[in-house]
Structure 1
Amino acid sequence: MSTAPTPSETSTITTAVPARLDRLPWSRWHWMVVIGLGTVWILDGLEVTVVGNIAGRLSEEGSGLPISSAQVTGIAAALYVAGACSGALFFGWLTDRFGRKKLFIITLAVYLAATALTAVSFETWWFFLFRFFTGFGIGGEYAAINSAIDELIPSTFRGRVDLIINGSFWLGAIGGSLLSIVALDTDLFAPNVGWRLTFALGVVLGLVILLVRRNVPESPRWLFIHGRGEEADSLVTGIEERIEAEHGRQLPPPDREITIHQRKSIGFLTIARTVFSVYPKRTVLGLSLFVGQAFLYNAITFGFGAILTKFYDVSTSRTGYYFAVIAAGNFLGPLLLGKLFDTLGRRIMITSTYLLSGLLLFGTAYLFDRGSLSAVGLTACWSVVLFFASAGASSAYLTVSEIFPMETRAMAIAFFYTVGTAAGGISGPLLFAKLTETGVVADTVLAFQIGAALMCLAGLVAAVLAVRAERRSLEDIATPLSAASAT
């Protein structure tokens, strides 16, 4: 029986859409979703790595820009981080209000335009401006894409898919490292051309992703809550028909329904009250996971080049090779461990990856302090640490995208991403740059120990507060605010 709708509501409906989506077997349609939405993380990794690697070339005579290396790695990097934080919050709010599809198209368009305009930079201020807007688009992607992926992927596969997609950032990092070596070779490209080509390639890859992404539908979960129940039902029916034809068998009937008071919009105060008042323990969990991984990563990746050059006399022209090895370890972690988050479970895997990476970094700090490591040995230790840390860090994004009600999902992702990015991109560099650039062994050891301690602390928080979300419907993990049982 429907209730009389208020101005913010349309009607009350009972739907099996979530159960219908969760019971689907893996199919070509799901691959299309993963490729269309998930591959943008590769672009993010490419962007961040390329800018770090071209800093030296941009500051050279003949680059076409009157800019110093410090301005590239300092001001430009800070503006990219500020843009990412701003974009996550702005587009996260719009994603919950206007839908996933509109926003994951718009945010990619912002990224493409900003990257193309960065490639044609003619003045320093222009380069700074469009680094901000590149970050603005990428930050928006995190909220829109993680929301859509979790709402479209069946619960049986959600953990591993989310982890691998977030871990694909490091494929972009590997590509950025190797691409920079080629693009900055003055025997192949002029000094004022090579660095522009690296940004141009990002545009080309983004356009390919946009072509695939156009075929990814709106989230049916978002549709039925926002007064478009018939459209959600029709969309899921089309997906079911495609999958039945592919697998050659009928799908089993859905095993449950949910009754929803449809709404056109959810107020920001309602979202904030839900996250901080209704789910305070989950908020503490999300903050702990994001801050822990942010500081561990900055303890290693922010100063890795300075450590290699100061302590091991590694040429700056060769640090890219070492970084490619570290990045490979980062990608292999989510790839090989992702399935365990769906089988062994979230709590044991989040806790173990955080604690293992923290303890291994403590061990690395001990060996480094004793002088027992060569440049290759230190890189190998970093790779093992980050193999586990990357799976843990990716699970932080998975966690905050599934433990809050659907109406708050994009904003929750945006909030925790912003906190993590700010901690990693602002507080982390300010602290670790001073420690790793002194050339004093004890200072670098301290940097490692701080990152390791915060990662271990986050692991202990997860051991107590992590939510058992494996193979469970999103609506079971956190009841939607619009659900009849929530009112």
Structure 2
Amino acid sequence: MRDTPESGQFSTDVPARLDRLPWSGFHWRVVIALGITWILDGLEVTLVGSLAAAIHQSPSLALTETQIGLTASAYLIGAVVGALGFGWLADRIGRRRLFFITLIVYMLASIATGFAWNFWTFALCRMLTGAGIGGEYAAVNSAIQELIPARLRGRVDLFVNGTFWGGAAIGAVTALVVLDPAIIDPEIGWRAAFIVGGALSLIVLLLRRHLPESPRWLMLHGRPEEGEKIVADIERDVAAETGPLPPTTYGPIRLNRRGAASLSEIWRTMFDTHRDRAILGLTLMSCQAFCYNAVFFTYALVLTKFYAIPAHEIGWFMLPFALGNLAGPLLLGRFFDTIGRKVMITATYGLAGLLMAATGFAFAQGWLSAWEQTAAWTLIFFFASAAASAAYLTVGESFPLEMRAMAIALFYAIGTAVGGVVGPTLFGWLISSGERGDIFWGYLIAAALMLVAAGTEWRLGFAAEGRSLEDVSAPLSATAANR
């Protein structure tokens, strides 16, 4: 690293050194400590879906189908606000500090959900839980992309986001226990599920104590010496485990010492310099959010209302659905680094849309049993899960590092507000009508949006596989330094 104090400029090879690292225990620690939040989120959200019928029948809450849809929307509204607020902070005070703040918010709110006594307290706790998770999406996705080598970034990012469904599978099995009257009173069971799920966050807090700040964040916020020291420590540990490190494949970059991007810079970069990428990110995030949240948050209601599945058996149907969602990123993730982002994102969105339309029609005609309906959803979301994870990957790669967390937060917030908040409320209302034909129109809307996203990716998508983050989108400080 070479400093020029007079100009405030310096050269650094931190990105090249991070990208050349072989996979090691350090990378596993990053994936586990950060990705485990998605497991808890999946556990949380699946429990809500699986417990929807029990909460609907709860003597103390007795929420209607519409109110259950509204609480799902409250969770997503909280996620929107949390993503924006915590995303803004992550670009200013660092990724590491936010890891702890957002997790504590999530933990306390989830535990409080188990003590809710009416619709309003339940909705408030769900909103605060969502705020913690929304903040996690921004900080965690940023850190993972900045710490993982470029050649593996796509598959690792998809895998980490896909672990949500590992938590969903755990949530499905948990629901089988807490909703079985022979084991525990369902009124106590659904409350205990939230309390225990939140308490598990303590384990994550301990795991994150040993993670460093992102060297790239330090580098771009006028603290290159600290970033250099962290990279040197990482290299020493990796070399001790894997042997001599390979040479770097590209040279240093020249940067200006500066802080976080201003709101005017963020706006100009997103909607002027990278307008096509902004359109792409908004489309991918909004379309997958509507499709996912509309179906997932009302999954249990469809099974109980139209297939007469008892509430305590919903977990058996959630389990294959969750495993299919987990398998998608795991099995398809590597192709996003080999075949390429554009082809794979287009294909996964397109296949999910076509299958959604076909399944919706079969549901409307009454052709499917409960298990056949579940098998169809499992296949749809095998592809949709990889597509949704790729949306976060795309947004993170699209914009300069100084505004990465805020970009992820903003697009997550807009996508969730447009697609996620409307979806559960709309489907809750359609389900309450009791008519399959009404719900079919909701499925058609979801299918059409996924196809729109596929077409947008094919038109505006860009190659990011194997390229450094700084090459895909030059840092604002690098642009200024080279003027």
TM over 0.5: yes
Structure 1: stretches of 5+ with no match in the other structure: 6-10
Partner secondary structure for residue 256 of structure 1? coil
Q: Provide the C-alpha distance between the structure 1 equivalents of 2:342 and 2:36, rounded to a whole number of angstroms.
A: 27
CA distances 1:209-266 after superposition (whole Å, capped 9, x unpaired): 1111111110000101111111111110111111111012243245311001011332
Aligned to 1:108: 103
Q: Distance in 2 between matches of 1:172 and 1:279?
A: 35
- After superposition, the C-alpha distances for 1:181-224 in whole angstroms (9 at most, x for unaligned) are 21233443345532332123223321111111111110000101
- What are the Cα deviations for residues 254-313 of structure 1, in whole angstroms up to 9, with x where unaligned? 531100101133211111211111111001101111122123224533443343344433
1:159/1:470 contact within 8 Å kept = yes
Range 365-374 or range 329-338, more displaced: 365-374
Give, in whole Å, the separation in 2 of the partners of 1:98 and 1:300.
Answer: 36
Deviation at 1:420, TM superposition (A): 2.1
**What residue is the counterpart of 2:333 in the other structure?**
338
1:389 aligned to 384, 393, 397, which one?
384
Residue type of the partner of 1:248? Answer: G
CA 1:371/1:88 → structure 2, altered by over 3 Å: closer, same or farther?
same
Q: Per the alignment, do residues 438 and 68 of structure 1 end up closer, same or farther by CA in structure 2, a change over 3 Å counting?
A: closer
SS at 1:372 equivalent: coil
8 Å CA contact retained: 1:436, 1:447 = no
For residue 18 of structure 1, what is the aligned residue in structure 2?
15
Alignment of 1:192-231 (within 5 A): 193-231=188-226
Is 2:87–2:138's contact at 8 Å kept on the other side of the alignment? yes
Pair 1:31 & 2:28 matched: yes
Give the 3-state SS of the residue equivalent to 1:110 in structure 2. Answer: helix
Q: Aligned with 2:10: secondary structure?
A: strand
Match of 1:41 among 38, 42, 45: 38
User: Does the 8 Å CA contact 2:49/2:297 hold for their aligned counterparts?
Assistant: no
Q: SS of the counterpart of 1:157?
A: helix
Aligned mates of 1:371, 1:394 — CA distance in 2 = 32
In the other structure, the counterpart of 2:132 is 137
In the TM superposition, residue 156 of structure 1 has moved relative to its aligned partner by 0.8
TM-score normalised to structure 1 length:
0.92
Moved more, 427-436 or 320-329: 427-436
Equivalent positions of 1:123-202 (< 5 A) are: 125-190=120-185, 193-202=188-197
Secondary structure of 1:472's counterpart equals coil
Question: How has the CA–CA distance of structure 1 residues 68 and 96 changed in structure 2, closer, same or farther, with 3 Å as cutoff?
Answer: same
Change (3 A) 1:335 1:112: same
Aligned partner (choices 2, 5, 14) of residue 4 of structure 2 = 2
TM-score, scaled relative to structure 2: 0.93
- Output the CA distance in 2 between the equivalents of 1:59 and 1:374: 23
Alpha-carbon separation, structure 1, partners of 2:207 and 2:178: 27
Give the Å deviation of 1:35: 0.4
Q: Aligned to 1:314, what secondary structure does the other structure show?
A: coil
In structure 2, the partner of 1:77 is 72
| Cα drift, residue 367 of structure 1 | 3.3
**CA-CA distance at 1:170 after TM superposition:** 1.4
Q: Is the aligned partner of 1:355 residue 2:350?
A: yes
| Contact persistence 1:406–1:480 (CA under 8 A) | yes
* 8 Å CA contact retained: 1:355, 1:456: yes
CA distance in structure 2 between the partners assigned to 1:123 and 1:369 by the alignment? 34
RMSD: 2.2
Q: State the alpha-carbon separation in 2 of the partners of residues 454 and 94 from structure 1.
A: 32
Q: Residues 436 and 75 of structure 1: is their aligned pair in 2 closer, same or farther, counting only changes over 3 Å? A: closer
On the 8 A contact 1:55/1:72 being kept in 2, the answer is no
Q: Does 1:301 align with 2:303?
A: no
Q: Describe the SS at the equivalent of 1:218.
A: coil
Which ranges of structure 2 fall in alignment gaps of 5 or more residues?
Answer: none
Q: Distance in 2 between matches of 1:265 and 1:375?
A: 51
**Equivalent pair of 2:49/2:299 in contact (CA under 8 Å):** no
Q: Deviations over 1:13-44 (max 9, x none)?
A: 10000010011111010000000001101111
Q: Give the Cα–Cα distance (whole angstroms) in 2 for the partners of residues 246 and 100 of structure 1.
A: 26
Aligned to 2:410: 415
2:466 maps to what in 1?
471
* Alignment counterpart, residue 262 of structure 1, candidates 257, 261, 274: 257
**C-alpha contact 1:298 1:451 (8 A) present in aligned 2:** no
Distance (whole Å) between structure 2 residues aligned to residue 195 and residue 366 of structure 1: 33
Do 1:353 and 1:388's aligned partners in 2 also have CA atoms closer than 8 Å?
yes
- TM-aligned CA deviation for residue 410 of structure 1: 0.6
| Equivalent residue letter for 2:10 | I
Aligned to 2:235: 240
1:405 is aligned, of 395, 400, 412, to 400
SS of the counterpart of 2:222?
A: coil
Distance 1:67 1:368, change over 3 A: closer
Residue 356 to residue 60, structure 1, CA distance change in 2 (3 Å): closer
Query: Does the CA-based 8 Å contact 1:303-1:437 persist in structure 2?
Result: no
Aligned to 2:151, what secondary structure does the other structure show?
coil
Say if 1:70 and 1:299 are closer, same or farther in 2 by CA, change over 3 A. closer
Deviations 1:52-87 (CA, angstroms, capped at 9, x unpaired): 33344446566xx45535586244333222211110
1:404/1:472 CA distance change after superposition, 3 Å: same
Deviation at 1:364?
A: 2.0
Cα distance in 1, alignment partners of residues 26 and 412 from structure 2? 28
Please give the secondary structure, in 1, of the residue aligned with 2:254.
strand
Whether the aligned pair in 2 keeps the contact of 1:307 and 1:437 (CA below 8 Å) is no
Name the stretch that deviates more: 41-50 or 393-402. Answer: 41-50
- C-alpha deviation, 1:486, in angstroms: 5.8
Deviations 1:441-468 (A, max 9, x none): 3323322221111101110110111110
For residue 439 of structure 1, report the CA deviation from its aligned partner.
3.5
Which of the numbers 430, 455, 462 marks the counterpart of 2:450? 455
State the number of aligned residues.
480
Q: Distance in 2 between matches of 1:177 and 1:333?
A: 18
Query: Shift of residue 354 of structure 1?
Result: 0.7
Tell me if the contact between 1:306 and 1:437 (Cα under 8 Å) persists in the aligned partners: no
Q: Is the 8 A contact 1:143 1:414 kept in 2?
A: yes
